[in-house]
A and B are shown apart, each in its own frame.
Chain A
């Protein structure tokens, strides 16, 4: 089960992902990201309530890395729990995707890069 809420703060587009991202629910995340990168340049992903992410979920984040680089879209994940962070870390995605602790850190990081 996954819930995706979105809102904007200043010029940041915030996606709050709650619950678990598995093979079936990753489709919703995929659709959402695919939709917003068409218009948004500064994307923050709030992972404070994200309990679990499967390899399919990781695949979603991974699949946009290249496109975001080309389109100069900045995305930062924040508030990841240890479990989730570890999953990103083992796969090595933390080397390609920016992750920080808080929303404020995320905002300043997006502005910095």
Chain B
């Protein structure tokens, strides 16, 4: 230690009896003082610890070592007391200076540690006033050249000033609040021991006082000032610690509440799940109100059950409590809600002659929906104060937010998955429709299909068997979403398998019904219509299975008509009775005639008055636009539909196929 080196130098110098200027030891003393301060200041400054307990422990240990060494010197003194050497002023001076070194080392290190304590929470003003205090002490250091005796007014001025300054700095005890109950006790003990050292050292110094030739530390202003400061600060610390003991549990509790609050609010980030939030809520609430028992009911609407989380209570005891609540005296209903309903309001109940004398019930709501109830029980009566209720309220609010966040994220994930699924279904559905329709010399054809937001199940296809015969199918699968797209793909498979067999429309529908009877779910069905266009014979042969009627425009009569005919949706009857419900229609066409196939999305388009577009409007549009091309007719219909509904999106899939027959080109 540089300090001990300095002590040696100091002592050595004093051991030189003559030939030395008298101010040299005084200068050495000043140098020693300042170096000790600088040494400790930087030594302790390097310790980045904010743990003041550790620093206090250091002071205690330094004090202990100094005391032991000092006692050792005393023992040495005692051993030589009868010897000639013991009376030698040089010897006395030597061990006196050793003592001085130890004492100075101890009080300066303590001083520096106290400085750290004071600066636990710094302010500009505090730094300036502390700096002034240091300058003041530095100034006093040079007073060794002008010795002031005890009893002189200046002496009292210095000591008095230091005392007042010490009181001023002793207010800075903010660190006390951050100690827990145990740490406070420990600190009190350490402070008391430090005060005892200080007392011992003062006594030591006073015992030397008078014998000393060169420098009497007991009358040294700086030393006494530092002593005063260190002592005052230690005493006030002890007192403040003592007075803080009873409230420290409150502080700890608040701290715990804040930590619990944080746990509740950060549960999402820390990868916890909902169950853990429930547990934290129960645990934190129990510790906040010091409940003897508690349970948390969580409604589970998906299976109409109530999930229960319990703390020191059995299911039977809960039933017991629930039986007692109606008999209990409801102390207060803690709500501004005018309807004082026990189911929706928080309340405190007090029960007589029951194990639990106070019960606090807190219903939990998430987005105005009842989510569960928190029940806290205490064996003492009037066990819940307003502060506790406030805290429970905060905990519940925070837990609600956390749970709501969980729900929202779950919903978002679910929604995301649903949207993805829907997009897949849409892609599938889209790909099942023909990309483009084959051109023919005998007719112009246009197909149009508009999907609703949700996937529907409209299907159409065209298959050219040979130069003269073309097969057309249009279908609508009941229901929406992925199952509709799935059923639609079944229909497509059936169509492409059976179409090659050149069946009559009736037979096709009977086979299709048989095939679908095995593949559709109970409440699903498919409507379809099947057409064979013979361009040589100029006939259209068709059958309808519950599908929208066929619209046919006769250019000769300049009128359009629907062909209803009997029919029944596919999959409605799943036995071999189906044939009874199928009919075949056959019409002859002339060039200029128009065949229009559509799905109910077209006719069931509704306007704001819930009026349907209907069959008549469609028919009129066809008649009005009969001399135009199929594409133009289609555009006209789509535009009319959109302006009718006032929207460009449809509620259901809309499909339209328009075929206009031409003169046979030979």
Contact = CB atoms under 8 A, between A and B. Distances in A.
- Whether chain B is bound by chain A comes out as yes
Interface of A: 23, 30, 51-52, 54-56, 58-60, 62-63, 65-66, 83, 90-93, 95-96
Interface string B545-571: 111110000000000000010111100
Determine which residue in A23, A63, A65, A92 has the highest number of CB atoms from chain B within 10 A of its CB, and name it: A92
A30 B523 contact: yes
Contacts of B545: 92
Given A59-B523, A59-B524, A62-B523, A92 B568 contact: yes
Q: Which 5 A-B pairs have the closest CB atoms?
A: A92-B568, A59-B523, A63-B523, A55-B478, A91-B546
B460 interface: no
A30 B612 CA distance: 25
Nearest to A93: B572
Contacts, number: 65
Interface residues of B, number: 27
A91 B604 CA distance: 14
Contact of A59 (B478, B547, B581): B478
B479 A92 contact: no
A11 to B, nearest CB: 28
B127 to A, nearest CB: 71
Given A60-B523, A63-B523, A90 B478 contact: no
B367 interface: no
Contacts of B568: 91-93, 95-96
Contacts of B652: 54
B573 A96 contact: yes
Nearest to A67: B522
A56 B480 CA distance: 9
B512 to A, nearest CB: 14
Contact of B479 (A56, A90, A96): A56
Interface string B509-529: 000000000000011110100
Given A90-B547, A92-B566, A92-B567, A62 B612 contact: no
A55 B566 contact: no
B476 A55 contact: yes
A71 B259 CA distance: 65
A74 B569 CA distance: 22
Contacts of B549: 90
B610 interface: yes
A91 B522 contact: no
A91 B547 CA distance: 6
Nearest to A55: B478
B378 to A, nearest CB: 46
B105 to A, nearest CB: 86
Given A65-B572, A92-B567, A96-B568, A23 B480 contact: yes
14 contacts: A51-B610, A54-B652, A55-B479, A56-B478, A56-B479, A58-B525, A59-B479, A62-B569, A90-B527, A92-B545, A92-B567, A92-B569, A92-B572, A95-B581
Interface in B445-484: 476, 478-480
Contacts of A63: 522-523
Given A55-B478, A95-B581, A62 B525 contact: yes
B479 A62 contact: no
B518 to A, nearest CB: 15
Contacts of B523: 30, 56, 59-60, 62-63
Contacts of A55: 476, 478-479, 525, 527, 600
Given A59-B524, A83-B612, A91-B527, A96 B572 contact: yes
